Amino acid sequence: MKRSWNDRVADFLEVRGLDSPKDGLDRSYLPELDSLRFFAFLLVFGFHKGLPALGATIRDTFAMTIDLPWLILSGSGGIGGPIGRSVDYALLQNGWIGVNVFFVLSGFIITRLLIQEENRTDRIDWKAFWIRRILRIWPLYFVIFVIGFLGVPGLWDAIPGVGLGSPHAPWFALFLGNWSMIFHGPIGSDILSVLWSVCVEEQFYVIIPIAMALLGTRSRLAFCAAGMAFAIWRRSELARADVKQYMMTYDSLAQMDSILAGVTLAILAERPKIRTAAEWTTRHVIAWIVLPLTVWMMTTSHLGHTIEVRRVWDPVAIWALAAMWVMTAAIGTPRWSRFLKWPGFVFLGKISYGLYMWHEVVLEVMGAGAASLVAVIFIAWASYRWIERPVLAFKHRWSRVESRPV
C-alpha cells in the first residue's frame, strides 16, 4: 500500500496520533491544538521583533497598496490601511495576544485531561498532575533560568544587575517572577522576562486540579465565573489607579480570566447538549467568522491599552476569540482540520514550549530575521529531543489518560 506524503512527513518528524477513527472532541488527543500553539508562538515572535520586515516583504510582493474592508474598519488610521503596514502593526503592536491564546489553550487542555481522568478512574489525582507538570515544565525552565541569570561564556555575560544575587532570582526560582517584576520593576533581560507567563501558568496549575477534584460540575462553573469576574474587577481597579501597563500584564489575578476561559470551555464541552450545539455552531458558523474577526482585532490600534475601558475589556474580547479558535481547531470543518493536522504544523506545535523559551536567546545572539526563526526551530527541536523528551519518558508513570504521544 502506497503511503501518503503526509504519512512520510509525520514519520520523519516523529509526529504520532494524527489519525483517529473518532471525530472532534471525542478524541483523546487533538493534534490541531498543537498547530494552534505554533501560530500563537509566531505572534509572540513577531511581537518581540523577530520578523520586523514581514510587512515590507508583503508590500514588495504585491507591489501595490491593498486595502481589506476589515482592516479599514479597524479605525487605526494610516496604519490600518495598506496590508503590509497592517501586518507590521499586527505583529509588532498586537502580537502579545499570542500569550493569551496560550493561556486559553493551557486551561482547556489540562482541564480536558483532568475530566477524562475523572471519567476513567472516578477521581482526579492532583499530586500526579503536579508531577506531570514538573516533568514537563521544570527542566527547560531552569535551563533558561541559568542562562538568563548567569549568561553564556563567550557569547555574553549576565545582564548587569541580573546575576544570581539579583532580587529577582529567588522569585523566578519559585515561579513567582511575574510578581517580582511588579514589585521590583521589569527585569533587564528579555531572556528572563518571557518566563513571566510560565510563572503565571504554574501558579494556576497548583489551584485548578484541586478545584476540579473538590467541586462538582456546577460548582466548577461557578468557581470559574467568580474567578473571571474577579479578574475583570482586578483590571478595572488597576486601570482606575492608572498603573503602568506592565504591572497589569504581569499580575496573575488580572490574567486569570484567560486561563479560566479555557477551563470553562473544557467543562462545558463535556456536557452533551452544549457539545452538540457547539459542534453545529463551529462547523456552520464560527469557522467562517473567526479569521476576519482575528484580522480585525490584530490590526486594531491600542489593543488592550490607553483608556480604562480598553485595558479592562479588550482582554475579554481576546480570550473570547481565542476560545472560538480552540473550538474551530478541535471540531472545525474537515478542510480546516486537514490544514491544522498537517504534520509540519503539529510538529512545530509539539516543540512550541521550546520555541517560546529559546526565542529570546536566539534573538539576543543573532538578531531579528527569518534566519533566527529557522535557528530557534532547530534549537527547540534539539532541546525537545535531548532535554525535554528524556525527562518526559518518566511521565507515563503518573499519567492517567493519554495526552500527546511523546
Task: Concatenate the DSSP letters of all residues of 85-128 into one string.
Answer: HHHHHHHHHHTTHHHHHHHHHHHHHHHHHHHHHHHHHSS--HHH
DSSP label of 14: T
CA distance 193 to 187: 6
SS3 157: strand
Q: Report the distance separating Cα 386 and Cα 381, nearest Å.
A: 9
246: nearest Cα among 306, 176, 178? 178
Residue 105 lies in a domain: yes
pLDDT tens for residues 176-235?
999 999 999 998 888 999 999 999 999 999 999 999 999 998 999 999 999 999 999 999
Helix/strand/coil for 15? coil
- In contact, 21 and 346? CB cutoff 8 Å: no
Q: Per the confidence metrics, is the pTM higher than 0.75? A: yes
User: Distance between CA 161 and CA 124 in Å, rounded?
Assistant: 43
Which grid coordinates are listed for 372?
533566527
What is the Cα 33 distance to its own chain's centre?
10
Domain assignment present for residue 110? The answer is yes
- The answer to whether residue 23 is domain-embedded is no
pLDDT given at position 16: 75
Domain assignment present for residue 259? The answer is: yes
CB contact burial 91-106 (16+ within 10 A = b; e otherwise): bbbbbbbbbbbbbbbb
Asked, for residue 62, whether it belongs to a domain, the answer is: yes
pLDDT of 12 reads 66
Residue 88 resides in a domain: yes
Residue 34 within any structural domain of the chain: no
Q: Which domain holds residue 257?
A: 41-398
Q: Distance between CA atoms of 111 and 164, rounded to whole angstroms?
A: 35
Structure-derived torsion over alpha carbons of residues 298, 299, 302, 304, reported in degrees to the nearest 10: -20
- Is residue 13 a part of any domain in this protein? no
The pLDDT score that the predictor gives to residue 49 is 82
Residues 197 and 103 sit within 8 Å (Cβ to Cβ): yes
- Integer angstrom CA distances of residue 21 from 4, 26, 35, 90, 283: 18, 10, 20, 38, 19
DSSP letter string over 366-378? H-SSHHHHHHHHH
Predicted local confidence at residue 56, as pLDDT: 53
The string of DSSP letters for 266-307 reads HHHHTSHHHHHHHHHHHHHTGGGTHHHHHHHHHT-TTTT-SS
Phi, psi of 157 (to 5 degrees): -85, 170
Q: How many domains does the chain have?
A: 1
Q: Tell me: the pLDDT tens digits for 333-362?
A: 888 888 999 999 999 999 999 999 999 999
Best CA proximity match to 38, nearest among 382, 377, 403: 377
pLDDT below 50 — which residues of the chain? Answer: 58-59, 61-81
